[in-house]
Structure 1
Amino acid sequence: MKFKLPLGLFSAISILVVSSCSSADDTEMAVSDSAVITVENVIESKALAQFGTFQNGGSSPLINPGESASFTFYAGKGQAISFAAMYGNSNDLFFAPSNPGIKLYQTNGDPVTGDVSSQIKLWDNGTRINQPTGPAVTHPGDAEVTPLNVAEIALTVPASQLLKAEITHDGGTKFTLKLTNTSGGTVNETPISAGVWAVSHISGTTLLKEDPIFSPGKLSANGLTELAETGKTTALSQYLTGITGPNSAFSPVLVVVYSGNDNPIFKTGENDRGQGLKELSQQGNADVLAAFLKTKSGVKEVYVLKDHATNILLPRINGNNGGKVSQTISARKGDRIALATMYGQSNDWFIAAVNNGVDGSTRGDISSIIGLFDSGTLESSFPGAHIGSQPAQTENQPVKQLANPNQFNTLPSLPQMIKVTLQ
């Protein structure tokens, strides 16, 4: 997926808080007909967009000489693939590229393909006294009295000649990395263990975590020791699970008060109407749709809510609250209230009230009636793996509500991503 609207670009969108357009009847509404709508991004931001494990597909997870293992992942421009696997005939050595991993796009934006073995290195975990590598190594061996920092190590045969790495671009932002054990017949012949891989989120041009698996010059941590000493991925996978997930902002929020049985913003099963939903779902720009709705019969109030500091609604970062916007609106019983905002880590996904919104007299938390939708105007891809890469392919499909899990991953439930209240 090409991230149409990186977090750093959201703030560049020129958004005004659109003044409401009220009918004569509305101006006569009593104070009791007013309410405050509040929208908050409650996503607990994570550093990694994806992680996974890989192993030999045979009866044993070990990748023996001549055998291969492959895994598929998604990445946009600026993102990289990192991985680690144990050098089996050692006490605590492991294969991995240098941080932040293997870059997946050239400077001109073209995807990297082919042999990238030259980027593979061998590292010492620093927790076991190294015996000469080979099948006679005793596992686990003697522990270092004082653990050493993780450091690159050289053997007779370079790591790039022991483990071959080949990248295939599968279209869009989808890649496959094939790892082949090429150590057979060398003085450093070895089995290679199952391993882990990870892709960091990126904000603008900054990776959120450049050392997802290990940190040279620091002590081994987060389950890496178990992988480096035994080839087991469990502990490191548990750590990576905890730092993997969404990290999406929401665009300024369109809120509309209207009458009738049809949500004026969109209808599932219909193609984009050309009224501004495309601009909202692709760019986070609600102005076009807001301007149109102000001319539409039955629409009473139109607002575009933005964060005063950032325009957008950022997720919760490092324990801080996420972006939050509020607006006093006028809505009486029988009126309807609907809203929409772009899911930033997407090409054309948006979050909105399902069906015909809620009654104007509703009060309390209405997050349960919010859904995630695909506007059908750009080809979808992995959320969070589209930032800065080539433009997505256009499409002309009906608006649809997205399932969860979706075709790419499993997102948190909507109430764990967005909180909407009427008070």
Structure 2
Amino acid sequence: MKQYKKLTTWAGIALLPLVFTACKKDRKYPTEPPTEKVSITVQNVLDSKPLVESGTFQGTGTPPVILPGQSTSIHFYAAKGEAVTFATMYGASNDLFFAPDNPGILVYDAAGKPIEGDVSSQVKLWDNGTRINQKPGATVTHPGVAENRNISEVVGMDAQGNTYMPTANLMKTTLKYDGNSQFTLTIQNTSGGTPNETPFSPGVWAISYIVGGNLLNPAPLFMKDKPTANGITDIAEKGDNAALSKYATSITGIFTPLSPILVVVFNGLENPLYKAGEKDRNQGLKDIAQKGDASVLAAYLKGKPGIKAVYVLAEPATKVLLPMINGAEGGKVTQELDVAKGDRVAVATMYGFSNDWFFATNGTGIDPFQKGDVSSTTGLYDDGTALNQFPGAGITQFNLAGTPLQESMPIAKVPNPNPFTTLPDVQNFMRVILE
């Protein structure tokens, strides 16, 4: 199954602005220390995944099926344009399963308002195409006679002439908004007493990242009118969700670009960008942390005492630094610096799919004469100026068409794991090389 849509430039998807600033402060020393040319390279090395979340669900009994009259719930986060999908077996069949049509059930309307209530009409019944259908019911023989057809929707009648009530009569599916971009999807088995009474098997659910209005994986679990794949057969024929869960887990993780990189050469100062434990200085770091715009802080620092050079580095083609996608190299930028003994270098960039997280050099910055990989000198920080949400699944995240909800807290390292997810090590997001 195709995992990613082809991505265009960041400018084309209107996520982060491009600003380039470079300046050097005039030297005021009677005799200046000798300088040396050093090259700094910053690269996004994140091995990105297309699904922001996935998981499993099941009933409470033994075996853990969802019997008529019973229900189960899924809890998840989502941003505007993202959708929740799932798959569960029509238990009293040979190879039928319930699932929303791709990309799933949208959870916000066009205005960004959370959708709540009955969404049963968006769930459909599908034929996996791997077994000849018998009359649905308790007497179905498993696994049945093999066949080889594409996945197809069952609308009232299957290929063998067996009849089915509308899915909404068999399964009631409701959405509830829990606040701060979190939802609950409840699946209730309402098939009891109907001609199509059936248990539902343990299932799998998933949410795809959205980038520039396009879902990275618009068909996370299956593709209609295509051969079955990814473990759907085990769900449809046996009600076994293990294989599909393993597949979904393998493509679930972190996706984020890095904004244009702010690089500052300074001397005789503490870190000119921030200090952990203090609040944002209102000099422009917030614009990086919330919007990926380094121009404000770059302009503020220009010409200040102790500031020797300021750069904002954008990847030429995409403006931002995209992560690794399907194994392709992530975006990177390089800048030559003139540095002297005692100089330090500070770097900052936005965790693009967050509310106000930013990567930056720790403490007093980097010694530019420390050649090689200096990625260990960087950390991931919370600017404390916007309410946090699930990274890549927040309705108020600026780069997901939202407006951050303001707060005022001291700058602090982002805990890992955090209340939303577990992140890779910082060095698996961003690599900083001095040569």
Equivalent residues of 1:334, 1:361 under 8 A apart? no
TM-score by length of structure 1 reads 0.93
Counterpart of 1:172, as a letter, is N
Quote how far apart the aligned CAs of 1:59 are.
Answer: 4.6
Give CA-to-partner distance per residue, 1:121-177, whole Å, 9 cap, x none.
110111111111111112222222xx1100111343211111110000111211110
Counterpart of 2:51, as a letter, is L
User: Does residue 184 in structure 1 map to residue 192 in structure 2?
Assistant: yes
- Aligned equivalent of 2:405: 393
**In structure 2, what is the Cα distance between the partners aligned to 1:333 and 1:242?**
47
- Aligned equivalent of 2:13: 8
Give CA-to-partner distance per residue, 1:176-220, whole Å, 9 cap, x none.
101011111111111101111111111111112111111110110
Equivalent residues of 1:252, 1:285 under 8 A apart? yes
Give CA-to-partner distance per residue, 1:342-387, whole Å, 9 cap, x none.
0101111111112222223211101122111110111111111135
- Aligned equivalent of 2:430: 418
Equivalent residues of 1:56, 1:194 under 8 A apart? yes
- Aligned equivalent of 2:34: 30
Give CA-to-partner distance per residue, 1:263-314, whole Å, 9 cap, x none.
1111111111101110111111111111222243322222111112222111
Quote how far apart the aligned CAs of 1:228 are.
Answer: 1.0
Q: Percent identity?
A: 50
- Aligned equivalent of 2:95: 92
In structure 2, list runs of 5 or more residues that go unmatched.
1-9, 157-162
| Alignment RMSD | 1.9
In structure 1, list runs of 5 or more residues that go unmatched.
none
- Aligned equivalent of 1:312: 320
Quote how far apart the aligned CAs of 1:234 are.
Answer: 1.3
Quote how far apart the aligned CAs of 1:25 are.
Answer: 4.6
- Give 1:67's match in structure 2, choosing from 70, 83, 92: 70
**In structure 1, what is the Cα distance between the partners aligned to 2:260 and 2:237?**
49
**In structure 2, what is the Cα distance between the partners aligned to 1:260 and 1:400?**
24
The equivalences for 1:23-422 within 5 A come to 23-25=27-29, 28-31=32-35, 33-144=36-147, 147-153=148-154, 154=156, 155-260=163-268, 262-386=270-394, 388=400, 390-422=402-434
**In structure 1, what is the Cα distance between the partners aligned to 2:86 and 2:165?**
20
Counterpart of 2:23, as a letter, is S
Query: Secondary structure of the equivalent of 2:293?
Result: coil
Q: 1:240 to 1:267 in 2, by over 3 A?
A: same
Counterpart of 1:41, as a letter, is N
Quote how far apart the aligned CAs of 1:60 are.
Answer: 3.7
**In structure 1, what is the Cα distance between the partners aligned to 2:143 and 2:114?**
41
Query: Secondary structure of the equivalent of 2:249?
Result: helix
Query: Secondary structure of the equivalent of 2:140?
Result: coil
**In structure 2, what is the Cα distance between the partners aligned to 1:241 and 1:177?**
20
Counterpart of 1:182, as a letter, is T
Quote how far apart the aligned CAs of 1:24 are.
Answer: 3.8
Quote how far apart the aligned CAs of 1:6 are.
Answer: 9.4
Query: Secondary structure of the equivalent of 2:102?
Result: coil
Question: Is the deviation greater in 20-29 or in 90-99?
Answer: 20-29
Give CA-to-partner distance per residue, 1:20-69, whole Å, 9 cap, x none.
335245994535x2210000011122221111111124454211111111
**In structure 2, what is the Cα distance between the partners aligned to 1:184 and 1:27?**
90
Counterpart of 1:405, as a letter, is P
**In structure 1, what is the Cα distance between the partners aligned to 2:387 and 2:26?**
38
**In structure 2, what is the Cα distance between the partners aligned to 1:25 and 1:163?**
78
User: Does residue 19 in structure 1 map to residue 23 in structure 2?
Assistant: yes
Question: Is the deviation greater in 311-320 or in 176-185?
Answer: 311-320
